[in-house]
Structure 1
Amino acid sequence: MMNQARSILKEYFGYDHFRKGQEDIIQHLLNGENVVGIMPTGGGKSICYQVPAMLFPGLTVVISPLISLMKDQVDALTEVGIPATFINSTLHHEEVQERVYDIKNGHYKLLYIAPERLEADYFMDILKEVTISFIAVDEAHCISQWGHDFRPSYAKIGYMINKLSETPLVAALTATATPKVHEDICHLLHIPWENTVKTGFSRENLSFSIIKGQDKGKFLESFLKKNKDESGIIYAATRQEVEKLYDRLSKKGYSVSKYHGGMSDLQREAEQQAFIKDDVSIMIATNAFGMGIDKSNIRYVIHYQLPKNMEGYYQEAGRAGRDGLPSKCILLYSAQDIRIQRFLIDQTINDPDKQKQDIDKLQSMINFCHTEDCLQEYILHYFGEEHTEKCGQCSNCTDERSVINVTVDAQKVLSCMIRMGERFGKTMIAQVLTGSKNKKLIDFHLDRIKTYGLMKERSAKEISDFIEFLISEQYIDVSSGSMPILKVSNRGKEVLLGKETVERKEQVVTVKVSENNALFEYLRSIRKQLAEAENVPPFVVFSDQTLRSISLTMPVTHEEFREIKGIGDHKLQKYGDIMIEHIIKFKTNQHELSIGEDSNTAELDTNREKRVKKSVENSHLLTLDLWKSGLTIKEIAKERELNVQTVENHLLRCGEEELIVDWSTFLKPEEQAMISDAIQKVGSDKLKPIKEELPDEISYFMIKVAIMLEKRKQKILH
């Protein structure tokens, strides 16, 4: 029957092959087995029940929480010739009766309904009169009270299925199931645990970034200017914030829609359709928007405020790049957002157990924002995946700041917590360590403990951020009450006993500079050019701290440059001459301006800017020289202080410029043959599908090399 399934896939949907996991799920169903499918957003879950529906006799019932999704999917199925319908609250009584009549007479293969409809006895009586072979439970995480979108009616699905005349096959499908939610799905729908198809939560084409300490509005506008031709979603936590962003961006001429629960159904539908049809490029919305929206060309998802949990965040972020092309997921973090989410939890949830659960989930979200490990790995571990690798492209993986030992600072914080009786929150701990004169602190006699003022050289914000880091790394536990209390975890006790060390990326310390601020701003623009050429963040070239030290000391020799913190031999070799040239230029121009002789500065600027630009543009040639000397890609990356992907891009550029002819270093003959076969099947303009055809050890770089070889071969032939 699997051959028939493939024929249906080709005939009705136009695909030659199933995507990862789809065939396995369908095979379970064809074997007469119930199945759970856990696939990331955009993984193609709907195919897993639409194809079997055409193979099984009788009716397939799809239980979905979303009215908009029902209509979109029914319209799409009807368009390709599959008889499908839905019954929900948008229909008049006469329309419902007409569809029920057609269902009883076998006119449809798929029926979409909301779970609440199964609670109506009259509707169950209708279903008992129909041959139902198969029930698909979409968004199955809603069945669990531990899920982020729990709906009580979902929990009754198993009971309702048992009321039917014959027990149908069941497929439960979701994109966001933690191990606990997975367990509930299997238990409540009577699906053996081993009948699980889990394709993994990783989305290779998505790059995740956490932005902290920046003006959100300025960052957003800067990002949108650079991506003005792309389609994207901006999520905010409240209706009020959505309206503010909508007004702000509208006034600045951006093409925007908005979507939140305070709008009428007609308004929301109109705004949604404008976005889906590309009439507008930006959707600003609360989390009410997006589930079931199948818009493939969303290039970025920005969370303007902190989401309430990881499940919701990953589902929303996963709406980017459903076509497999590289896309950005950016979260703008502010501590103020935590208070907003805590307020929403307190105001909307009365059940103490549910409130504790939501606070715990919020803490996991906060930890995500403060971890210094790979962001993709954090997400995968949250959803229960154990054997993972760093993604190499999130903001943490590409952050090349030095790792330093902060064990002593961690011991100071943890010791302070214990001396305070482990009965306070982050703010009070930070105040004690900085030696604050806060009245509440004095009233509790906390100014008398040994750790009072122990870190007075730091600001309270710096210590608060450090505490958040310790929480994210599980050295500190957080209570779930309305006022979070911090306690030293078992892992933290190991640090206090000297049995475990704590390491952290070196923090950028802001130094106040009154003089030479103009030089600092000037050098920032040079740093930006260098960073763009290397395809890295500016702070990877020089941190702000290093740049401010340069602007203060104004070094003009290599020896002076080497004395500055953050300048090693590699950076001195790469950037020393360029920076020295610009410092001399700045000093010269300042002197000329001070004596009124500025007639030749424009020409001086132009000539030197050309040299700097040329040096930046030729960065790939330096990589080529190292490759020709026999170094591997990883060795070049280490030598030049670049990430591996940048080195690969440099080499590919050399190939395009025909500076590299022999690519045998990168591809064995059997690998080239394997990739060439995949290219013939898929086409050379679709990297993701090519990758899916090949073993995991074949990288995107190897595929691009093979494509380059194919194009060169064709060029020679013609």
Structure 2
Amino acid sequence: MTQTPHSILKDVFGYHEFRGPQAAVISALVAGNDALVLMPTGGGKSLCYQIPSLVREGVGIVISPLIALMQDQVSALHELGVRAGFLNSTMTAQEAWQTELAMHNGELDMLYVAPERLIQPRTIELLHQVKIALFAIDEAHCVSQWGHDFRADYLKLDMLQREFPNVPRIALTATADVRTREEIITRLQLENAQQFVNGFDRPNIQYRIQQKNTPKVQLLRFLRDEHANHSGIVYCLSRNKVEQTAEWLSAEGFTALPYHAGLTPQVRQKNQNRFLREDQIIMVATIAFGMGIDKPDVRFVAHLDLPKSIEAYYQETGRAGRDGEPATTLLLYGLEDVVKLRQMMSNSEGSEEFKRHEQQRLNAMLGLCEITSCRRQTLLRYFGDTLTQACGNCDSCLTPAQTWDATEAVRMALSCVYRTGQRFGAGHVIDVLRGASNEKINSFNHQTLSTYGIGKHIGADEWKSIIRQLVARGYLDVDAQAYGGLKLNDSCRAILRGEDTIQLRRDIKTSATSVARKQGVAVDAEDQNLWNALRACRKRLADEHGVPPYVIFHDATLREMLEFRPITPDQLLSITGVGQSKLERFGDEFLEVIREAEY
């Protein structure tokens, strides 16, 4: 007697109820219809093709680009009593022959095959000799030439419609905007497929994006304070940075393993197996790692470099919290990331159209980084999904960003970019603004410019933040061919002419303070002199007024002064713990201390 989908769900997989659209998808496939399924990571996509493969007559063919994970997936099915096998390039001729024979003899319920193997004439001939239940095209976004995971072999999967017109096909992905969805439909000839879009929200994931200033300290604090005993992934842009970060984390007492395409297949497989099977493992990786990772208890994903697109960010962060339990993501990014990615795009061998689309994707990613509203709403909107209320589980919701009227400072920055010839990077422009004296400034005679030193009252880190936000918002362009040279564009005209104002995010300086405080040290060594001076000022005023120092200002207020370096009464008034009364009674003394430290 043929089992029903629900009985297989319960008896084979051990679940009592279907989730979301699973039942509808399975019903469509069992009836012989095609389907396109968009379901967030951890939503149960695999059951959508595994159960119909067991219900329908024949063998279910699962096309997956994840050779390294096929063995694990097949082994898991074996544990459930499902007859499954795989065909890929890692097998010996004898092993492949035995699997093919088992399928030919009707001894397999499911076969996992890599796309490059599937499109070979030998494999197609073999498939024509057996009864096929369905074709499941996993990670279907790989068919998109504009996507971050493009696989050329996926473009040839349109042959399934021609070769096997009566076999139902299901394409599945967790990552596809509207454009990518349309491309999947067109390239895989799924125009008549039923579409099941289950939303993109992962409410258990907390999204955090921070300015990158001391990335090692920021990451270390994140891990020690929140995830000391958890498994997670740390993404880096380059292989070299992966190696260095894994080595450094290991020296700090974590079990950290590297993963990138430059390692031997044996090392990659060994490290991946440890990550999947052991607890408290941190995988430090490039984007070569992660697609299809089934580990449910990844509690965090951290990015030490800016992802190239929101699609990449969504997919990589989606590897956290597949079990539905709380998980955290942390992205650290700075202007240097933008420059590096734009240089990579400019030097790529892609067409101009490809480069233009890549630039649009990067701009969308920058927009997500710089918004002051709910990040989850913006993230979901990008995929055509909606969230009617702020999520309450991202950094923008939990600790709303402070903004400030940066119009005057922005005009200074834009003017300095213009005066220096629109050819220098942020570092040199900031040196000119702050009135630095160095060989580069002297050699170009930039100490004679009208913008030389006009911004010395603003700290270097704050200038970096200003310029980064101007680039992200499209007021400044980065010349990828000229080593990150800054250039004006039409968007900045209104501000330069005084016709418009601009509010910017005030970055909170995430430094060694929290980690150091845990170890009994108050602040970074570089800030120690100003910290001591602020405390001395507080102690003197406390003695004069006959009160404990905390009555003047709490430590938290002094730390905020240390981070933001206010030099005007209005700026000081924006510091937590400084009201109008204390501003009038103590403000001048503290402002004088900060001004002396800045100059």
Aligned partners of 1:234 and 1:301 also within 8 Å? yes
- Report how far residue 238 of structure 1 moved: 2.4
Determine whether 1:293 maps to 2:297.
no
Distance 1:292 1:20 in 2: 20
Other-structure match for 1:580 = none
Distance 1:390 1:418 in 2: 40
Other-structure match for 1:593 = none
AA of the residue aligned to 1:112: Y
Determine whether 1:153 maps to 2:168.
no
Other-structure match for 1:222 = 221
- Report how far residue 94 of structure 1 moved: 1.8
Determine whether 1:113 maps to 2:100.
no
How many corresponding residue pairs? Answer: 548
Other-structure match for 1:577 = none
CA 567–191 in structure 1, closer or farther in 2 if over 3 Å, else same: same
Distance 2:558 2:201 in 1: 31
- Report how far residue 301 of structure 1 moved: 1.5
1:566 pairs, out of 575, 579, 595, with: 575
Other-structure match for 2:585 = none
Other-structure match for 2:532 = 517
Other-structure match for 1:61 = 61
- Report how far residue 541 of structure 1 moved: 6.2
> Alpha-carbon deviations, 1:210-264, whole Å to 9, x = none?
2325422233333333332222222222232222223223334323333222332
- Report how far residue 361 of structure 1 moved: 3.6
Give the secondary structure class of the aligned counterpart of 1:322: coil
Other-structure match for 1:91 = 91
Give the secondary structure class of the aligned counterpart of 1:46: helix
Distance 1:246 1:332 in 2: 17
Other-structure match for 1:199 = 198
Aligned partners of 2:231 and 2:279 also within 8 Å? no
Distance 2:427 2:463 in 1: 9
CA 126–489 in structure 1, closer or farther in 2 if over 3 Å, else same: farther
AA of the residue aligned to 1:291: M
Aligned partners of 2:39 and 2:174 also within 8 Å? yes
Aligned partners of 2:557 and 2:577 also within 8 Å? no
CA 402–256 in structure 1, closer or farther in 2 if over 3 Å, else same: closer
Question: Equivalent residues in 2 for 1:543-692 (5 A)?
Answer: 544-546=559-561, 565-567=574-576
Other-structure match for 2:21 = 21
Other-structure match for 1:576 = none
Aligned partners of 1:39 and 1:200 also within 8 Å? yes
Distance 2:238 2:85 in 1: 34
AA of the residue aligned to 1:138: D
Aligned partners of 2:237 and 2:305 also within 8 Å? yes
- Report how far residue 332 of structure 1 moved: 2.6
Determine whether 1:324 maps to 2:333.
no
> Alpha-carbon deviations, 1:365-405, whole Å to 9, x = none?
44443333333233223333355543222222222454333
CA 404–181 in structure 1, closer or farther in 2 if over 3 Å, else same: same
Q: TM-score, normalised by structure 2?
A: 0.78
Other-structure match for 1:372 = 372
Determine whether 1:102 maps to 2:111.
no
Distance 1:113 1:548 in 2: 55
Aligned partners of 2:259 and 2:268 also within 8 Å? yes
Aligned partners of 2:423 and 2:482 also within 8 Å? no
- Report how far residue 47 of structure 1 moved: 1.2
- Report how far residue 153 of structure 1 moved: 0.8
AA of the residue aligned to 1:517: N
Distance 1:42 1:515 in 2: 49
Distance 2:561 2:449 in 1: 37
> Alpha-carbon deviations, 1:117-173, whole Å to 9, x = none?
233122211122223342111111110111101111101111x21341434222111
AA of the residue aligned to 1:269: Q
> Alpha-carbon deviations, 1:73-117, whole Å to 9, x = none?
211112112222111112111221222222222222221111112
Distance 2:278 2:494 in 1: 55
Distance 2:30 2:498 in 1: 58
Other-structure match for 1:188 = 187
Distance 1:541 1:308 in 2: 36
Per mean C-alpha deviation after superposition, the further-off stretch among 275-284 and 132-141 is 275-284
Aligned partners of 1:231 and 1:300 also within 8 Å? yes
Distance 1:234 1:281 in 2: 11
Distance 1:178 1:73 in 2: 27
AA of the residue aligned to 1:223: F
> Alpha-carbon deviations, 1:589-632, whole Å to 9, x = none?
xxxxxxxxxxxxxxxxxxxxxxxxxxxxxxxxxxxxxxxxxxxx
- Report how far residue 499 of structure 1 moved: 7.6
Other-structure match for 2:590 = none
Determine whether 1:381 maps to 2:381.
yes
> Alpha-carbon deviations, 1:650-698, whole Å to 9, x = none?
xxxxxxxxxxxxxxxxxxxxxxxxxxxxxxxxxxxxxxxxxxxxxxxxx
Give the secondary structure class of the aligned counterpart of 2:404: strand
Give the secondary structure class of the aligned counterpart of 1:396: helix
> Alpha-carbon deviations, 1:411-433, whole Å to 9, x = none?
56567778889887656765676
Aligned partners of 1:433 and 1:455 also within 8 Å? yes
CA 231–432 in structure 1, closer or farther in 2 if over 3 Å, else same: same
Aligned partners of 1:356 and 1:480 also within 8 Å? no
Distance 2:114 2:564 in 1: 62
Aligned partners of 1:139 and 1:173 also within 8 Å? yes
Distance 1:374 1:290 in 2: 26
Distance 1:543 1:336 in 2: 30
CA 452–279 in structure 1, closer or farther in 2 if over 3 Å, else same: closer
- Report how far residue 17 of structure 1 moved: 1.7
Other-structure match for 2:521 = none
Distance 2:303 2:237 in 1: 9
AA of the residue aligned to 1:317: T
- Report how far residue 464 of structure 1 moved: 3.8
CA 495–277 in structure 1, closer or farther in 2 if over 3 Å, else same: same
Structure 2: tracts of 5 or more residues without a match? 512-525, 539-553, 583-599
CA 309–101 in structure 1, closer or farther in 2 if over 3 Å, else same: same
Distance 1:283 1:464 in 2: 31
CA 57–249 in structure 1, closer or farther in 2 if over 3 Å, else same: same
CA 427–180 in structure 1, closer or farther in 2 if over 3 Å, else same: farther
Determine whether 1:169 maps to 2:168.
yes
**Identical columns (%):** 35
Give the secondary structure class of the aligned counterpart of 1:373: coil
Aligned partners of 2:229 and 2:280 also within 8 Å? no
- Report how far residue 445 of structure 1 moved: 9.8
Distance 2:27 2:234 in 1: 39
- Report how far residue 195 of structure 1 moved: 3.3
Distance 2:338 2:76 in 1: 40
> Alpha-carbon deviations, 1:489-514, whole Å to 9, x = none?
66x56667878653334456999784
Distance 1:150 1:518 in 2: 56
Distance 1:403 1:551 in 2: 14
Q: TM-score, normalised by structure 1?
A: 0.66
Other-structure match for 1:242 = 242
Distance 1:126 1:194 in 2: 26
Aligned partners of 1:417 and 1:429 also within 8 Å? yes
RMSD over equivalenced CA pairs, Å: 4.3
Give the secondary structure class of the aligned counterpart of 1:13: coil
Structure 1: tracts of 5 or more residues without a match? 524-538, 553-559, 574-718
Distance 1:37 1:373 in 2: 30
Per mean C-alpha deviation after superposition, the further-off stretch among 308-317 and 383-392 is 383-392
> Alpha-carbon deviations, 1:335-381, whole Å to 9, x = none?
44445545655676465554554455444444443333333233223
Distance 1:421 1:347 in 2: 24
AA of the residue aligned to 1:201: F
- Report how far residue 18 of structure 1 moved: 1.8
Aligned partners of 2:343 and 2:481 also within 8 Å? no
